[in-house]
């Protein structure tokens, strides 16, 4: 059976918001089946986190990369150098148009400024909180820091604790779904958790499930996806839904597997026989 492994990046094959480790690159080189990636972030963020270190640590193969929550498709060929060829893309701003896109940005901005959604000291806000990423909008309540790495990581860790203690992002998400109900119903708007600190705003069908159907259309008979956000509200969830509803009598198989870290990813791939023990 023609099998393909599809991997989330952040928190699945890398530590959260950290570059891929050399150990993981060596592991990917030893996989017995082709791998591809489906990431929530857009290409500029992923260059330093994944694409460049993948080459620097010795990977010399080819794979498909679905970024910006799966809505932008690249073919990556590393055999002679790190070459990325754009295959297809989707633009959220063009899709929503001159009325609905500004309305979306206005609602996001107003929501973050509401008293009930203010973060608490010593948490800091640095950089842009609302970032257009072509196929989606990313909204981070603490911004995208341009500070020194150690300080930014401390602030990020404090927000993760704050979020868990106060159910912060879940409350913001519920409010946004109420304010943006028209766009959700009429335009297929989706709101999912992005990594540990943000939200991703996209469009139904322009998500990570598109990576699975694209691989199947290219000849894969079995697609095994591993990700750390298959839970309800996570940006891997569309693949989980696709797998759960895939026809049982189909000759093609779709599997979705929750992982807890990049080390857990390696352990699960070994257990499935895709890598040496």
3-state SS of 189-213? EEEEEECCCEEEEEECCCCCHHHHH
Residue 260 and residue 198 share a domain: no
> Per-residue confidence of the chain (277 residues) as pLDDT tens digits?
899 999 999 999 999 889 999 999 999 999 999 999 999 999 999 999 999 999 999 999 999 999 999 999 999 999 999 999 999 999 999 999 999 999 999 999 999 999 999 887 688 887 889 999 889 999 999 887 654 467 778 888 899 999 999 999 999 999 999 999 999 999 999 998 887 888 899 999 899 999 999 999 999 999 999 999 999 989 999 999 999 999 999 999 999 999 999 999 999 999 999 998 7
Compute, in degrees rounded to 10, the torsion defined by CA atoms 223, 224, 228, 231. Answer: 70
Residue 106 and residue 85 share a domain: no
Residue 126 and residue 171 share a domain: yes
Residue 199 and residue 96 share a domain: yes
* Residue 172: per-residue pLDDT: 95
Q: How far is the C-alpha of 182 from the C-alpha of 178, rounded, in Å?
A: 9
* Integer angstrom CA distances of residue 159 from 100, 114, 138, 163, 214: 30, 18, 16, 6, 36
* Residue 13: per-residue pLDDT: 98
Residue 216 and residue 81 share a domain: yes
Q: Is 277 inside a domain boundary?
A: no
* Residue 127: per-residue pLDDT: 83
pTM metric for this prediction: 0.85
Number of domains comprising the chain:
2
* Residue 145: per-residue pLDDT: 65
Residue 79 and residue 98 share a domain: no
CB atoms within 10 A of CB 135: 23
**Cis, bond preceding 122 (omega within 30 deg of 0):** yes
Residue 48 and residue 140 share a domain: no
Q: Is 276 inside a domain boundary?
A: no
Q: How far is the C-alpha of 258 from the C-alpha of 231, rounded, in Å?
A: 8
Residue 75 and residue 110 share a domain: no
Of the residues 203, 235, 259, which one is the last residue of a structural domain? 203
Q: How far is the C-alpha of 229 from the C-alpha of 192, rounded, in Å?
A: 10
* Residue 155: per-residue pLDDT: 87
* Residue 146: per-residue pLDDT: 55
Residue 181 and residue 158 share a domain: yes
* DSSP annotation of 188: -
* CATH number of domain containing 98: 3.30.1240.20
Which residues contact residue 256 at a Cβ distance below 8 angstroms, ignoring those fewer than 6 apart? Answer: 225, 227, 230, 236, 239, 240, 242, 243, 244
Residue 212 and residue 86 share a domain: yes
Residue 257 and residue 177 share a domain: no
* Residue 185: per-residue pLDDT: 97
Give the containing element (helix H, strand E) for 57.
Answer: none
Give the residue numbers spanning the domain of 17: 3-90+206-271
């Amino acid at each position: 059976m023609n099998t393909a492994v599809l991997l989330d990046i952040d928190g699945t094959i890398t530590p959260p918001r950290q570059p891929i480790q050399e150990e993981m690159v060596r592991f990917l080189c030893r996989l017995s089946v082709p791998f591809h990636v489906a990431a929530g972030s857009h290409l500029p963020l992923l260059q330093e986190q994944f694409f460049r270190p993948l080459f620097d640590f010795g990977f010399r193969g080819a794979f498909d990369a679905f970024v910006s929550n799966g809505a932008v498709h690249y073919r990556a060929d590393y055999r002679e150098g790190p070459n990325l060829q754009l295959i297809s893309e989707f633009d959220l701003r063009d899709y929503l148009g001159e009325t609905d896109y500004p309305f979306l940005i206005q609602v996001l901005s107003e929501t973050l400024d509401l008293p009930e959604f203010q973060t608490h000291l010593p948490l800091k806000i640095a950089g842009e909180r609302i970032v257009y990423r072509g196929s989606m909008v990313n909204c981070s309540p603490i911004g995208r820091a341009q500070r020194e790495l150690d300080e930014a990581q401390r602030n990020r860790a404090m927000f993760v604790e704050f979020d868990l203690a106060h159910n912060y992002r879940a409350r913001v998400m519920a409010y946004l779904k109420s304010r943006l109900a028209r766009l959700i119903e009429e335009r297929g708007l989706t709101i999912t958790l992005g990594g540990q600190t943000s939200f991703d705003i996209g469009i139904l069908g322009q998500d990570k499930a598109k990576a699975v159907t694209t691989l199947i259309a290219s000849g894969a008979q079995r697609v095994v996806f591993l990700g750390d956000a298959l839970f309800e509200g996570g940006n891997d969830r569309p693949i989980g839904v696709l797998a759960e509803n895939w026809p049982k009598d189909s000759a093609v198989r779709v599997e979705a597997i929750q992982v807890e870290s990049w080390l857990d990813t390696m352990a699960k791939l070994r257990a499935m026989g895709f890598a040496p023990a």
